[in-house]
């Protein structure tokens, strides 16, 4: 029995019963278009609405729109992206532009080269620039 779950902020994303009914139908129809009509009688689609300020992003209750477009979140996001980028780049080292595969990393969860170690330390500490 497939279950499609849609989670939204109550009264912010879906603002009318008509929108909800339309979304339920379209989500079900999309699912059925992939898996086949036989699954339709067994497919549940649920909308779960969370009240305002009972969910958060980065520990800030939402919807706090000034936080989402403000400098604090932008800096947090930029730092996390820089750390992830440094880590990914450290894992791609050694592949070269000749199309050859990178050598197997003896520590696939992180890598032991200096760049990889620095990226892991930044990620774990959540501070610094990459």
The secondary element (H helix, E strand) that includes residue 38 is: none
DSSP 8-state assignment for residue 107: S
The pLDDT score that the predictor gives to residue 16 is: 95
Q: Which CATH class is domain 3-57?
A: alpha beta
Q: What is the pTM of this model?
A: 0.55
Q: In this predicted model, which residue has the larger pLDDT, 65 or 1?
A: 1
| Residues 20-38: tens digit of each pLDDT | 999 999 999 999 999 999 9
The pLDDT score that the predictor gives to residue 126 is: 53
Domain ranges within the chain, ordered by starting residue: 3-57, 70-125
The number of residues in the chain equals 130
| Residues 39-60: tens digit of each pLDDT | 999 999 999 999 988 988 888 8
The pLDDT score that the predictor gives to residue 114 is: 75
Question: Cβ(44)–Cβ(1) under 8 Å?
Answer: yes
């Amino acid at each position: 029995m497939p279950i499609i779950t849609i989670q939204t902020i109550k009264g912010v994303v879906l603002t009318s019963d008509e929108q909800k009914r339309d979304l339920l139908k379209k989500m079900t129809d999309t699912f059925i278009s992939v898996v086949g009509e036989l699954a339709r009688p067994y497919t549940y689609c649920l909308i779960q609405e969370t009240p305002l300020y009972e969910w958060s992003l980065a520990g800030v209750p939402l919807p706090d729109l000034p936080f989402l477009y403000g400098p604090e979140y932008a800096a947090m996001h930029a730092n996390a992206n820089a750390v992830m980028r440094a880590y990914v780049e450290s894992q791609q080292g050694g592949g070269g532009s000749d199309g050859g595969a990178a050598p197997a990393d003896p520590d696939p969860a992180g890598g032991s080269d200096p760049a990889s170690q620095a990226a892991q330390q930044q990620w774990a500490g959540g501070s610094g620039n990459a």
